[in-house]
Structure 1
Amino acid sequence: MNIQRKELLVTSFALFSLFFGAGNLLLPPLLGYNAGENWFWVTVGFMITAVVIPIVGILAHARLQGTLYDFGKKVSPTFSLIYCILIYIIAVAIPSPRTAAATHEIAIHPAFGTSPLLTSAIYFSLVLVFVLNRSKILNLIGKFLTPFIVIMLLAVIGIGLSTSTFATGISQFETPIVTGILEGYQTFDAIGAVVVGAVIIVSLNFKNMKVSQFESKRKLIRQSGFIAGAGLFVIYAGLISVGAYYGSEIEVNAELSSDMQRANLLRGISIASLGEFGNTVLSILISLACFTTAIGIVAGTADYFKGLLNDSQVVYIITAIIACILGVVVGQLDFNSIIMVAIPVLLFIYPITIVLILLNVLPEKLATSLVFRAVVIVTFIFSIPDVIGFLSPSEGLKTVTSYIPFASQSLGWVLPALVVFVLTSLLQLNKKN
């Protein structure tokens, strides 16, 4: 079955929009601003965890065409069940409410002066309406919302670069690539890949998409993933570079919280690019980008628990309602507070998610059940010091982690996981021979 261009574009735009939320818009400009002359190397690191890994996750979904449960079942069914529940709880408890917090702080409160409670209540009521009409999600987001978001983003970036003096400040980062990698964690894009990828799979199963054969869906998802990834790359690189080149023109008050620094910088860039109209553009842009991401997260969570409990539509509705209520409650926190809560969670769950994504795109002979178990266990063990070090740093822990390569950059799990993967693969090969 040939994939029609219309279906490809709709799916690509929808996938891009489900990825692109609050953190994706707010994090890159300040990252570039602080990176200054080293903005290119920060961009390289950021792309690894915010573009490459998430798109590999979509490719894994294209191959599996199942649910998130399929990502971890080679480790063990129990592990996969626990992992899935953790991922979906994290998704509805942190990134989903964060979209409401960002929308309130940047778009709604400055214009209307409303309370976070009112903003979150209206916001998640609308999210719930869209999620309960999920058969229309792909078409609505892909045909209408995302093109508008992309056009506005490109306008801000293009006009911003064309009017910039191209003068950068001094970098504040000792290791810009590593800083970019860790900042990419906060986009939640790797977690987003395994969550919204499942949304795409389910949505493609609706009759109006006209894609039914396994290979046709695989081709569509893969091509959509590459197109969405290219879009994310252009937007991220543009936002980071604009932040870097406006470093000498826009004053960011270091005494403000990180979220206000991000908001003020992005607002300054928008106004410098589009005049006072830039404020309106920014408000609309933030609202739409956050809203589409929240829809994807809530729909993905409801889909999972629906499938877990006998494909019950009642479970889908109840899960969506609970996720939206949780979003309203947590959405009372400010954007920066949610990020601070998220960091230790990300240091724990992100490495496991990354290795599961990478293992699921490898050939079966390289990614056996033994390899899955060994790599995930080692990744889990070597991620623990990063979490403890963030929550309760001590000299004793520093002494222990000093023997682990890259541990000081919160990447102590990388080399052990790679070594175990190679050794386990060689062991399997020797046994086979």
Structure 2
Amino acid sequence: MLRNKETLITTFALFSLFFGAGNLILPPLLGFNSGNMWWLVTLGFATSAVLVPVLGILAHAKLQGTIFDFGKKVSPRFGLVYALSVYAISISLPSPRTASVTHEIAVAPFFNISSLTTSILYFSLVFIFVMNRSKLLDILGKILTPAIIIILLSIIGLTIFDLDFSFRGGTLENPFSTGILEGYQTFDAIGAVVVGGVIIVSINLKTKAPYEAKKGLIRKSGWLAGLALFLIYAGLILTGALNQANFDSEISRTELLTGISKVTLGNTANIFLSILVSLACFTTAVGIVTGTADFIKSHYSHYRNAYLYTAIVGCVLGILMGQFNVAYIITVALPALMFIYPITIVLILLNVVPERLATPKVFKVVVLTTILFSIPDFLGSLEFLPLNKEIFGWIPLSRYQLGWILPSVIAFAIANANKDSKTAKKLP
């Protein structure tokens, strides 16, 4: 049996792998812009940035394989293309973004060095950790995550106790859907299928426990990590909402986070915030590069140095993209997210529901429908179609850039109803 100590370490490791650049800089500005509707934007944000990722970890607990297993029921070829696409996006956008955030918040205020220099030093350290992946779970679970949580709780706690609960009106037209879409930018759903694989490999390196024991450990750790994420997100969004009167309405994400830290922690804010940002971003970058290298190693095991070469490529890409500013990387990431995120959410949900409701045929129908109805949002994010709203306005929820949801639900229901009717006809 796996003990509670292993559950706690795995929970902390999961939290630190999830909690990175986007998780830190996105919620405060959401709260700042939502004002008295902060609770509604929190529910939307938690849907895509907490609930779906936790379900992704539960799917990993069930599958105990790699990201390839998430899509293989559609077809092995699709599973491979999906996996490679996710890893390509992960090491090209969210991983480099961690270096960019670290430079803007934790390095630039103290040192007169270029963002390129920061990226080189940053991903050199990432490479060292990735190459020592057998110790990864203990390092993340025992050392780094407790430090992250303590600093976060200090900022949130001091804000809640020091400021009176008076809110101004928000500027968001649709707080709930805005929260959902902003949750995309955390990459947490994609992170779930990536870092979940890291956790599986790490557990397998540490223990030979049976399938059910590992399944229980991963499920429990997933829910606990999700609860911690929700509390931190809600706290950061509330913190942003309570600080509306203290900052200019045009403030940027990183400037707001820095400003809130100064309000709550005083003159020591920069030091604490620098430590927090560095730890939170670093653990996520390590998880992404490790997950990518793990997958390539497992799927292309005939290449002896597959893990090493993948780690090098991941870190080089991190250096090249990490030198750009955060706002630019977020803008570049949007089209990729509008396409890959709905597919990821659907694959997670299909892998969580009972097998009888998610046959290979159901997988094919639902995933194909999701892809088709994600195209308008993808094109719209590219501003490829100026008349996007007029052309695709008939699709339910399309005005919220969530036009894929209802068609996917309908496809799931029809595919299962058709399957059940065929089964009934075969019965005597």
TM-score band w.r.t. shorter chain: over 0.9
Match of 2:248 in 1: 252
**Aligned partners of 1:140 and 1:390: how far apart in 2?**
39
Match of 1:221 among 218, 222, 227: 218
Match of 1:39 in 2: 38
Give the structure-2-normalised TM-score. Answer: 0.97
Give the deviation of 1:246 after TM superposition: 1.0
Match of 1:362 in 2: 353
Secondary structure at 1:187's aligned position in 2? coil
Give the structure-1-normalised TM-score. Answer: 0.96
Task: Encode CA deviations 1:300-341: one digit per residue, 9 max, x unaligned.
Answer: 000010011126551100100110011000111100100000
RMSD: 1.1
1:314 is aligned to 2:305: yes
Give the deviation of 1:253 after TM superposition: 5.4
Task: Encode CA deviations 1:73-131: one digit per residue, 9 max, x unaligned.
Answer: 00011111111110000000000000000000110011102101110000000000000
Range with bigger deviation, 3-12 or 56-65: 3-12
1:430 is aligned to 2:394: no
Unaligned runs of 5+ in 2: none
Match of 1:391 in 2: 382
For the 8 Å contact 1:166–1:246, the answer to whether it is kept is: no
1:302 is aligned to 2:293: yes
1:194-273 equivalence runs, <5 A = 194-206=193-205, 209-248=206-245, 250-252=246-248, 254=250, 261-273=252-264
1:68-87 equivalence runs, <5 A = 68-87=67-86
Structure 1 residues 58 and 284: alpha-carbon distance in aligned structure 2, compared to 1, 3 A threshold: same
Match of 1:104 in 2: 103
1:409 is aligned to 2:400: yes
1:316-331 equivalence runs, <5 A = 316-331=307-322
Match of 2:6 in 1: 7
For the 8 Å contact 2:379–2:385, the answer to whether it is kept is: no
**Aligned partners of 1:367 and 1:311: how far apart in 2?**
33
Match of 1:333 in 2: 324
Task: Encode CA deviations 1:43-79: one digit per residue, 9 max, x unaligned.
Answer: 0000000000000000000000000000000001111
Amino acid across the alignment from 1:391: L
**Aligned partners of 1:16 and 1:313: how far apart in 2?**
32
For the 8 Å contact 2:49–2:186, the answer to whether it is kept is: yes
**Aligned partners of 1:131 and 1:315: how far apart in 2?**
13
For the 8 Å contact 2:17–2:284, the answer to whether it is kept is: yes
Give the deviation of 1:263 after TM superposition: 1.5
Task: Encode CA deviations 1:219-254: one digit per residue, 9 max, x unaligned.
Answer: 000000011001000000000001001111x21351
For the 8 Å contact 2:2–2:209, the answer to whether it is kept is: no
Give the deviation of 1:275 after TM superposition: 1.0
**Aligned partners of 1:275 and 1:395: how far apart in 2?**
47
Secondary structure at 2:379's aligned position in 1? helix
Could you tell me the percent identity over the aligned residues? 54
Give the deviation of 1:398 after TM superposition: 2.3
Task: Encode CA deviations 1:151-200: one digit per residue, 9 max, x unaligned.
Answer: 11011100111001222221111111001000000000000000000000
**Aligned partners of 2:33 and 2:267: how far apart in 1?**
25
For the 8 Å contact 1:186–1:339, the answer to whether it is kept is: yes
Give the deviation of 1:287 after TM superposition: 0.4
**Aligned partners of 1:60 and 1:394: how far apart in 2?**
36
Amino acid across the alignment from 2:151: M
For the 8 Å contact 1:99–1:291, the answer to whether it is kept is: yes
**Aligned partners of 2:369 and 2:407: how far apart in 1?**
7
**Aligned partners of 1:6 and 1:389: how far apart in 2?**
47
Give the deviation of 1:211 after TM superposition: 4.6
Aligned pair count reads 424
